[in-house]
Each structure stands twice: as structure tokens, then as C-alpha cells.
Amino acid sequence: MGHPSACSTQPKIHRRATAYSRETTVASPEEQTLIARCLAAENGAWDEFVGRYIHLITHVVNSCLKVRGSQSQQLRDDLVAEVMLGIVDKDFRVLRRFRGQSTLSTYLVVVSRRIAMRSISRQIVAARPLKTMAVDAAHIATGTDVSINIESKEELTALLEKLPSDQATAVRMYHLEHQNYREIGQSIGISENSVGPLLSRARARLKELG
């Protein structure tokens, strides 16, 4: 019996390497089992989840704070708690959405960063003087150099109320809450590709009002 040639064995080796690569970039059976246990509210499952991933989530939060130039331990602890609450919110919706197409750690990094950065952005907006926030919001929304004199939150609200509800929501979510097109589309009930044109129409209308 002849020995297999190098050419005949190479495809098999390549297939094994490819399969291994795929196995290392998707959720492991252990991760899937832990998620299932959490969703079933199995005793001790959530504690195990926290023990396994709390350091990863804390690391992500620290990275987000570093980008924003903050090293506040209190803020870090608050953000970590907010991420954990975000994971359990609405009956573990975050975990229910996990499809296993990446490792659970990779998925949690993305989720943690999104929740942390959104919270940090909200705090930055809330900390700014109201007049500055309102003028900047209108200024950004119009995309022009037109200065709109808005002295109060009521005036800003009144300005947005002159827009169709979907346009007002898009402007508020994008410019004040710093949410992305996908999140805006999901909230309004339109496709992600439709958000840009919607914002453009809103800016044009705000320019007319200004």
C-alpha cells in the first residue's frame, strides 16, 4: 500500500485547522450551558456568571473611562453595576440575543462597552449647562452656523415638537443621547439605512425653524 502524498494530506490538515479556528471563535458548550442555566434561573447560575465575567466587564469599563479621561473609582463601580443591570434587564434580554457566533467573552465586551459609553455620554450631557446643551444640540442638528437662542429645556422641547415625531426622536437619540443608527432604527421601527435620510430631513426642517 502506497503512502499518501503530501498533496493528499494537505487539504485534510487545512480542513482541521479551519475547523479548529471556527471552534475557537464561537461559543463553547460550557458557555451555552451557563447561559441556559441563567435563563432558567437555576440556583447559583448568576453568581457563577458574575464570578466568571466581572473582571472582564470591569476591564472594559476602565478602558471606557480612560478614553474619557476619568479614573473615578465611584464612577467605575456605578458603570459596572449598570452593565450588570443591563445584562439582566428585561429577563436577560442581552443573553437571549446571544447566538453563539462568537465567544461569550467577545460578546460581553461589545455589550459592556456599548452600555458604558452610552451612560458616560448621558452623564456628560447632563453635566453641561442647559443653555449650552440646547444651543449645541440645535446647532449640530441644523448642520449650519445658525445660532439659535434657546434659554430653557422647554424651548428646546418646543422646537423638537415642531418636527414629526420620528424626526424629533431621531434628533434626540442621535445628538443628545449619542445612540447609533441601528439603535435609532430599532426604536422608531425603520431600517438602519433609513435613519440617515430621516435625520437629513429633520435638519432641513430645523434650519427653516431657526
Q: Where are the domains of the chain?
A: 24-127, 130-209
At 56, the amino acid letter reads L
Count CB atoms within 10 A of the CB of residue 141: 26
Band of residue 173 on the pLDDT scale cut at 50, 70, 90: confident
**What proportions of the chain, in percent to the nearest 5, are helix, strand and coil?**
75, 0, 25
Pull the grid cell for residue 151.
434659554
State residue 39's pLDDT score.
95
At 181, the amino acid letter reads Y
Mean pLDDT of the chain: 76
Band of residue 58 on the pLDDT scale cut at 50, 70, 90: very high
Q: Is the pLDDT of residue 194 over 90?
A: no
CATH topology of domain 24-127: Rna Polymerase Sigma Factor; Chain: A (1.10.1740)
Provide the percentage of residues in the chain whose pLDDT is more than 90: 33
Q: Is the pLDDT of residue 175 over 60?
A: yes
Where do we find the cell 431657526? Answer: 210
List, for residues 10-31, the tens digit of each pLDDT value. 444 344 444 433 445 789 999 9
Fold match, 24-127 / 130-209: no
Q: Is the pLDDT of residue 74 over 90?
A: no
List, for residues 85-94, the tens digit of each pLDDT value. 999 998 999 9
Mean pLDDT across the stretch 69-90? 87
| CATH entry, 130-209, from 1.10.10.10, 2.40.50.1020, 3.60.20.10, 1.10.8.60 | 1.10.10.10
Band of residue 153 on the pLDDT scale cut at 50, 70, 90: low
C-alpha to C-alpha distance for 75 and 119, rounded to whole angstroms: 10
Pair 159, 209: CB distance under 8 Å: yes
DSSP 8-state symbol, 3: P
Which segment, 9-18, 44-53, 156-165, 198-207, is predicted with the most confidence on average? Answer: 44-53
- CA end-to-end distance (rounded Å), the chain: 87
Around 194, how many Cα atoms within 13 Å sit in the side-chain half-sphere?
Answer: 10
